[in-house]
Amino acid sequence: MRFLISTFVFIVFCLPAMAQDTLFRFAMLSDTHIGNQTAQEDLERSIRDINAQPDVAFVMISGDITEFGSDEELQLAKSLFDQLKKPWYIIPGNHDAKWSESGCNTFHTVFGGETFSVTYKGYRFLGTSCGPNMRMGPGQIPREHIVWLQEQLKNQDKKQPLIFVNHYPMDDGLNNWYEVLDSFKGYNLKAIICGHGHNNHKLNFEGIPGIMCRSNLRAKASIGGYNLVSLVHDSLVFNERRPEKETLPAWHAVALHTPEAPQWMANPPRPDFSGNKAYPQVSVKWQLQEQGDIGSGVAIADNKIIYTNTNGDIKAVDLRSGKLLWKYSAKGKIYATPLVQGSNIVVPATDGQVYCLDLRNGHVRWQQPTNKATVASAALYHNTAIIAGSDGHCRAWDINSGKLQWDFDSVRNFVETKPLIYNDKVYFGSWGNDFYALDAATGKRVWTWNNGSANRMFSPAACWPVAVDNKVFIVAPDNYMTVMDANSGQVLWRQRDTANRVRESMGLSVDSSKVYAKTMQGYIMGFSTHASAKELVWKSPVALGYEICPSPIVEYRNTVYVPTQSGIVYALTANDGALRWHYKFSNCLVNTIQPVDEHTLIASAADGKLVCLTIK
């Protein structure tokens, strides 16, 4: 033990003088946040500094490349990284994925991928992207990248040392952390490097050394910084680098000299599904696991369930058995809930196309281009599909012919929601802090409301609005519930309650007497829709825990169905919010819940699970 401590001290305090003993060195950048006020200058300084160091072999960048994931920010980031005179490998983080106007397609297009695998001097580095992709919630590695990682490991030499790079730490702040760690068991995983926390930290992930690296942003300092990582005497040594100034003493060293596989924690914590046993009346009739994320709700028609995934598939399965009936593949990820009208299915996609398929067989009836990706869902008005995109346009297409009916071209920033159709108007918010009311027949602007925030992350963009009694209700990340006159846009009341912070999840009761909202503290509240001010009807006693899942709340036959960020469906009584039952089928965010009848409901989760639940 004394020898090991002496060796560690020797390594820490002699670096970088002992460069002759270094097998290789690389630069570790993280959380560059291009779009932040100082981000470009901070990154340019670090890139100049890295280029001036001949012993840096390559560069790794571990996510949150941009502030908002916009196409403009990603293009700027690419132009900056192209100034590196070293090989570099990059993955996206939650800021690149959650607010992406392209549905994460632009990152893939601009940087050539969202994962990396590189081997250097006997060490293999694997990196995966990390969301949540498009839907607010805890961190999540996309399902398709879990599949990619497992494919990479199939033919992996189990003695070769591996280093895994991801934006989030590998703990329960990431909904599917355990799938990653379990995938590495049996392999020689030496270390996990992450960002996200903006500061250097020594971590441990179930027995595997974890290293969180600082953000490149300066924050309150005069300049930013990054890490130089050196393999010295079979140890991975981390030094913070203040670009164009100095290298600080090593702050951490991870021993890599042991040839055997790592010593994993015995019986590590895993998601708990045992609570399902308390409600034996609820059971799984069938369940599917997609190879990509599911980022949308489902449509049910003609005994078929139609849904989409982030591999670009539009699928129909048999309602009774879950058996695949047909599949159509677009050329980009899909986050839209399918719209069914008659025998037509309308689905906008991130490949810049709107598709209309035949419900019977999935054949294309028509498709129309848009100028950019679309991550919002279509809304039905008579025989038209109304779709707001990422290109500043909201359009209406005739569903039978695909002919454009109207085009409103003045939407600020992109749209994520499903528009509300109410009293011949279409209502929706955008990530430009605006909320719009358009004439549903002509597309002409009726009114626009702005929340007054300078921060677009507070936009009323993700909630599915509801309306009754000529009033439109919305909730937003600024924690306000806002009620507006449906005809004029005049604010009737707007309230923020710090003890009950609403966010983006809401719904309307069947009799339209209550609007439901989920709080970040994890409670469901029912408010009167008829009162002239905010009036609480009931607050459910059921504690969900911390909640930021934006999925809509649905009532069906006196039962309120609540989706959560942890894969649990809650069923509450509509009269007072008392618990009927809950059922956990995933550990990731639940999308919309679709009741079929009193005894059957369909739900999907962001990790690609689709489930049919039976309630006795």
Phi/psi of residue 560, nearest 5 degrees: -100, 120
Coil, helix or strand at residue 533 = coil
Q: Which range, of 9-13, 116-120, 240-244, averages the lowest pLDDT?
A: 9-13
pLDDT tier, 12 (very low <50, low <70, confident <90, very high otherwise):
very low
User: Of 432, 593, 345, 380, nearest to 68 (Cα)?
Assistant: 432
- Kindly state the DSSP code that residue 139 receives in the 8-state scheme: B
Per residue in 157-205, pLDDT (tens digit) is: 999 999 999 999 999 999 999 999 999 999 999 999 999 999 999 999 9
Hey, how many other C-beta atoms are within 10 angstroms of the C-beta on 109?
14
Place of tokens 């009950």: 500
273's enclosing H/E stretch is: none
Token representation of residue 265: 């924690």
Per residue in 76-114, pLDDT (tens digit) is: 999 999 999 999 999 999 999 999 999 999 999 999 999
Strand order of the β-sheet with 299-301 is 299-301, 304-308, 313-318, 324-329
Section 489-515 average pLDDT: 97
Cis peptide before 16 (omega within 30 of 0): yes
pLDDT tier, 605 (very low <50, low <70, confident <90, very high otherwise):
very high
pLDDT tier, 260 (very low <50, low <70, confident <90, very high otherwise):
low
pLDDT tier, 520 (very low <50, low <70, confident <90, very high otherwise):
very high
Q: Domain ranges for the chain, please list them.
A: 24-255, 336-415+417-461
Under CATH, which number does the domain 24-255 receive? Answer: 3.60.21.10
Does 127 have pLDDT greater than 60?
yes
C-alpha torsion angle, residues 308, 310, 312, 318 (rounded to 10): -30
User: Of 264, 167, 162, 152, nearest to 206 (Cα)?
Assistant: 264
- Note the pLDDT of residue 455: 93
- Note the pLDDT of residue 258: 67
Pairing of strands 568-573, 579-584: antiparallel
Cα 330 to Cα 310: distance, rounded to the nearest angstrom: 10
Section 341-355 average pLDDT: 97
- Note the pLDDT of residue 233: 82
**With helix as H, strand as E and coil as C, how does 330-352 read?**
CCCCCCCCCEEECCEEEEECCCC
Q: Are 518 and 502 in contact (CB under 8 A)?
A: yes
Cα 121 to Cα 163: distance, rounded to the nearest angstrom: 13
Does 540 have pLDDT greater than 70?
yes
Section 440-460 average pLDDT: 96
Give the right CATH number for 336-415+417-461 from 2.40.128.630, 3.40.50.720, 3.40.50.10490, 1.10.340.30: 2.40.128.630
Angle of the 143-154 helix axis to the 177-184 helix axis, nearest 10: 0
Per residue in 287-316, pLDDT (tens digit) is: 999 999 999 999 999 999 999 999 999 999
Coil, helix or strand at residue 57 = coil
Q: Where are the beta strands (DSSP E) in 470-566?
A: 471-475, 480-485, 491-496, 502-508, 514-519, 524-528, 536-539, 554-556, 559-563
Token representation of residue 386: 């109304």
Mean pLDDT of the chain: 95
Does 15 have pLDDT greater than 50?
no
User: Of 464, 472, 596, nearest to 529 (Cα)?
Assistant: 472
Q: Is the dihedral of CA 326, 332, 335, 339 positive or negative?
A: negative
